[in-house]
Amino acid sequence: MEKKEKNRLILTVMVCLLPIILGGALYSKLPEQMPIHFAINDAPDNYAPKAFALFGIPAIMAIVQTICLIFTSKVGKVKDMEEPKIIKIMEWFIPIMTVLIYIIMVEATLGNNIYVGKSVCLILGIIFMIIGNYFPKMSYEAGKTIFHPRPKSEKSFRRISKILGYSFISIGIVLMILIIWA
């Protein structure tokens, strides 16, 4: 791993672990069993011990983030080519989701009226639209390192990336519309 990649790894892992500070501050105010999963009607349907929910989940997400970044740093490298922006965006997916879902979990445990389904639809809708925006802007050289099987020509790559871009943006819009019913 290069120095830049190591710094990004350290920063994103720290963001994954950041919620532990909130958990430590609220530890005494939270019940021994905390909801960690919610049904479609926003009712908790799975619980975990407080220590695991507050400290274990961010630690597991930090480990997953580390594995993902180490894997992506070793795969798809092309000498003298800048890393595609879509990869840079995807590297922040786990840390951002960890923080947002942790906040939702703690707020719901404290009895605050949190709309879990709407929150998840909003977060995922935004992420899908951002990723969809970047697919068509990716260079052919970068696409050859990301897509499998590799595109046979630049023309087929442009067609695939445009379809993927429209598909992701459409899914993002559908998720945003679902907020009305979630």
pLDDT tens across the length of the chain (182 residues): 788 889 999 999 999 999 999 999 999 999 999 999 988 888 889 999 999 999 999 999 999 999 988 887 766 555 555 667 777 788 899 999 999 999 999 998 998 888 888 888 999 999 999 999 988 888 888 777 777 777 788 898 899 899 999 999 999 999 999 888 76
Please check whether residue 124 is in contact with residue 54, taking contact to mean a CB–CB distance below 8 angstroms: no
Q: What is the pLDDT of residues 1-40, one digit of tens each?
A: 788 889 999 999 999 999 999 999 999 999 999 999 988 8
Say whether 15 sits in a helix, a strand or coil: helix
Rounded distance between C-alpha atoms, residue 98 and residue 153, angstroms? 38
The whole model's pTM is what? Answer: 0.79
